Amino acid sequence: MNLAMLQPGQRGRITKIGAIGPMKRRLLDMGVLQGEEVTVEKIAPLGDPIEIMVKNYRLSLRKREAAGIAVEVTG
Amino acid sequence: MKNQAALKMALSEPAKTLTVAVAGNPNAGKSTLINALAGTRLQVGNWPGVTVEKKEATLLFQGRRLRLVDLPGTYSLSPYSQEEIIALDYLVQEHPDVIVDVVDSTNLERNLYLTMQLLELGIPVVVALNIYDEFQKKGYEINTSLLEGSLGLRAVPTVATRGEGLEELLAAVLEAGDHPEAHRPRTLNYGQDLETAVQEVERHVQVRHPDLATRYPQRWLALKLLERDERLLRETNLGNGPFLEQATRHLREGHGDDLEELLAEARYGQAAGLTREALKKKATGRRELTEKIDAIVLNRFLGIPIFLVAMWLMFKLTFDVGNPLVDWVDGVFTGPLTRWTKALFTAIAAPEWLVSLATEGVIGGAGMVLTFVPLIFAMMFFITLLEGSGYMARAAFVMDRAMHAMGLHGKSFIPMILGFGCNVPAIYATRTLENPKDKILTALLVPLMSCGAKLPVYVLFTGLFFAAYASTVIWAMYVLGIVLAMGMGILFRRTLFKGESPLFIMELPPYRLPTLKSLLIHTWEKGKHFLVKAGTYILAISILMWFLLNLPWGVADKKDSVLGKLGQGIAPIFQPLGFNQWQAASALVTGFIAKEIVVSTMGQIYGTEEEKEEAPSFGEDLQEIGVSLGKAFWEAGSNVFSTFGIATLAAEEDEKTESWRDKLTESFTPLSALAFMAFTLLYMPCMVTAAAYKHEFGTWKWFGLATAYGLILAWLVAFIIFQGGRLLGLGG
């Protein structure tokens, strides 16, 4: 299961960040960390990117970027 | 006596100027805070070698001089983005006395992550708990002394938009700067395993690289080495030896190989722990404003229509408000100012060529610069409004899928749409894109958006050759530009800009209303900068062009001028495109000044003598300037409420061409006219756009590339139109 597969409203806990290099560092810097709870808020009208809630703020990322983040569904 | 001596000392030796670096996350209100502190004393420039903006100001506070240096807004100090490298290099190399860390108090945890990294540098930190009004409205409470005590810094609540808390902030800065030993940041504990490794690396550096240990903050250096910061590894030569490998073995065995991740977790762990302890939130259960607005603005069905309406409004307001003022400035420069200069020069018996150089080269060039000022101001105002309100990020979110398909970023849409009005503000609007790759690529495609100045060319030719379906042909020109932009975007992404496409990991900040003061200061800075920097280039090019157009002085036949010669020289290139007359080639050359000049050059070369006008008196001129300014403002205001009037422009142009219409119909066929229009659409950016490229990117390189590919593309497309048309038997 990865973050790109969650539907709007679904929550998940991050189990692993598969990205490497600058993309990984950027995600870490934005608070997308292992063990963090995230909620998918919205999907853009054209189907990509997605909006998630993490660390109590809104973050958008492309599905390609979200697909590298493994999650387990929590709600 | 002793006291007096001390007093004398104090008077004769002014206290040291404190250098204060202002850091903070994007969207934390950092520029509003800087604007509120510095106002018009702000000096805007660029960081050396890059296009990232640098702001500085010197203030007097309680008799002391404070030099504020605004660092780029960043979420972190990792060495991956241009902004982060600039901020980090400044802090490490310039050793400011104090760091002001502007924090969005409503989003404490993520903002404190940067604070953790700032503390590692060992420089006294003063935190501005900004946007404190919203913080209170949410019913949040913060234990400031706990925050200060645990981190070893000062924290001051501020509301930058209303100027609240700024005195206290500066007082804290002064205090921290004068007594740095009492305001050393606390060393935070990142966990036993990490700390052991840090100590080991620190010891090693102290012994083996004592020079580095004095140059850099030790703990920071050790942490950076653990993160395997490439630049520092090179500098210390630690990347090759086995030392780091050994020092981190224990750490990696327990926590995995990615120490960057471990450190990010440690810093966020501290930020999260502290937020839990110091911040009290009341559960209100109320839906936030941002959530409510987003439910509509990002709605699956409404999102795109709302975005398009917003863009249409911005476009309309920029150009409809700007254009009457543009026309007024243009009128004053080509009318009264030119006449007065002529009168003055004639009075002192200056030679005719000097009069022409002064009026057409210098005044014409200066007028050209000024005519763009209203557009730049209007565009900057709306871009700042979109960014400051939080809608820009939503616009990018809504459009990213479509723009990404052509290799661009969601935010690229805005410069592209402005390009239809005028390429100059469009080039400047690319500054909304953070990533240099996205920014350059967008700027390269902007010239394919058919700007307003190309319209007179289309109107002229469609009027002569395609009268029955003129609007369809004009519309096709716009579509041609868009389609080619898509193709070129993909082509560039696969060739020159190959590699990992830039990330789209972007915060959607809460909606906020920016203050008018902040908007105006920002707009003013941009306008002023354009006037000085781009203005210089434009004036120089304009004078150069004058020589090209008028030398040798006094030739009777335009054909013998440098321009005419040039036209004859390059005309054969256009042979396969269907328009090999030197007149058309010359007109295209002058189109570099501004695209609408293609039409007037054709008028001059194909036509006869222009009719002389009765010159009005000085008094009448002055009166006319005033009256027309009033008219311009009125028109700008009323345009806001009316629809976009392409039709009126078309009618105006039609009358002027009367006299040389016949010659043009003899020289062109419908097919070569179409090829000529396509060529005009694509061939090269005008000189003001060239100056904008140079000004915005600090190099002529991208203008060069835009021109090179534009000329090739224009030739190919015109060739396909003309030769393809002939093959299809459409005549030629």
- Asked, for residue B286, whether it belongs to a domain, the answer is no
Provide the angle, in degrees to the nearest 10, between the axes of the packed helices B218-226 and B192-208. 110
Structure tokens at B184: 């050393």
User: Residue B507's beta-bridge partner residues?
Assistant: A59
pTM recorded for the entire structure: 0.86
> Do both B658 and B701 map to the same domain?
yes
pLDDT per residue over B38-62, tens digit each?
877 888 888 887 778 889 999 999 9
Q: How far apart are CA B129 and CA B142, in angstroms?
A: 10
Q: Cβ separation of B401 and A44 shorter than 8 Å?
A: yes
Beta bridge partners of B23: B101
Residues B422 and B478 reside in one and the same domain: yes
- Give me B28's structure tokens: 């934390």
* Residues of chain A with C-beta less than 8 angstroms from the C-beta of B109: 31, 55-56
Number of domains in chain B: 3
> What pLDDT digit, counting tens, does each position of A62-74 carry?
999 999 999 999 9
What number of C-beta contacts closer than 8 Å exist between A and B? 109
Q: Which of the residues A46, A48, A63, A65 would you substitute to probe the B interface, choosing the one with the greatest number of B C-beta atoms within 10 Å? A: A46
- Per-residue confidence (pLDDT) for residue B176, from 0 to 100: 95
**Distance between CA atoms of B611 and B355, rounded to whole angstroms?**
19
Chain A residue with the nearest C-alpha to that of B25: A30
Instruction: Count the neighbouring beta carbons within 10 Å of the beta carbon of residue B154.
Output: 23
* Structural domains of chain A in order of their starting residue, each with its CATH number: 3-73 (2.30.30.90)
Please check whether residues B315 and B449 belong to one and the same domain. Answer: yes
> CA B401, CA B409: separation in Å to the nearest integer?
8
Domain-located, residue B54: yes
Residue A42 in tokens: 């919205």
- A55 contacts in B (CB within 8 Å)? 109-110
Contacts of residue A7, defined as CB under 8 A and 6 or more positions apart, other chains included, come to A40
List, in sequence order, the alpha helices (H) in A1-75.
21-29, 63-66
A72 touches chain B (CB under 8 A): no
Residue B732 lies in a domain: no
Q: Are B319 and B408 in the same domain?
A: yes
Q: Which residues of chain B have pLDDT under 50?
A: 1-2, 9-10, 609-612, 643-657
Q: What is the CATH number of the domain that holds B239?
A: 1.10.287.1770
User: Among partner residues B107, B264, B506, which is closest to A29 by beta-carbon distance?
Assistant: B264
Farthest CA pair distance, chain A = 30
Our CA dihedral for B364, B367, B369, B375, rounded to 10 degrees, sits at: -140
> Which of B76, B258, B401 comes nearest A46 by C-beta?
B401
- The last residue of one of the domains, among B183, B207, B226, is B183
- Shared-domain flag, residues B643 and B580: yes
Contacts A57 to B, Cβ<8 Å: 107, 110, 507
Give me the domain span that covers residue B51.
17-183
**Which chain B residues have a beta carbon less than 8 Å from that of A30?**
75, 110, 505, 507
> Across the interface, do A17 and B301 touch by the CB < 8 Å criterion?
no
pLDDT of residue A45: 95
Tracing tokens 């497309």 back to the chain, one arrives at B717
Radius of gyration in angstroms for the set of CA atoms belonging to chain A, rounded to a whole number = 11
Q: Is residue B37 part of a domain?
A: yes
User: If contacts are CB pairs under 8 Å, which of residues 41-70 in chain A contact chain B?
Assistant: 41-49, 51, 55-62, 65
Rounded Cα–Cα distance for residues B692 and B522 (Å)? 18
Cβ atoms within 10 A of the Cβ of B267, count? 24
Q: Assess if residue B287 is contained within a domain.
A: no
CA distance A13 to chain B (A): 15
Residue B4 lies in a domain: no
Of B438, B454, B379, B538, which is closest to residue B710 (Cα–Cα)? B454
Residue B390 and residue B463 share a domain:
yes
Whether B715 maps to a domain, the answer reads: yes
Which of B132, B165, B183 finishes a domain?
Answer: B183
Q: Does the beta-carbon distance from A45 to B304 stay under 8 Å?
A: yes
List all residues 6 or more positions away from B385 whose beta carbon is below 8 Å from its beta carbon: B514, B519
Indicate which CATH number applies to the domain containing B134. Answer: 3.40.50.300
What backbone phi and psi angles, to 5 degrees, belong to B2? -60, -45
More confident call, A38 vs B206: A38
Question: How far A65 CA lies from chain B's nearest CA (Å)?
Answer: 8
Mutate: best of B228, B391, B503, B511, partner A, most A CBs <10 A? B503
Is residue B689 domain-resident?
A: yes
CA dihedral B337, B338, B341, B345 (to 10 degrees): -170
Residues of A in contact with B107 (CB under 8 A): 56-57
SS3 B647: helix
Sheet arrangement for strand A50-54: A69-73, A11-17, A37-43, A50-54, A57-61, B506-507
Query: Is the same domain home to B353 and B486?
Result: yes
The verdict on B512 and B621 lying in the same domain is yes
Chain A residues inside the 8 Å CB shell of B396: 60
ipTM confidence score: 0.97
Helix H or strand E segment including B128: strand B125-130
Q: Are residues B503 and B549 in the same domain?
A: yes
Number of neighbouring beta carbons within 10 Å of residue B436: 15
Same domain, B110 and B253: no
Asked if B78 and A65 come within 8 Å (Cβ–Cβ), the reply is no
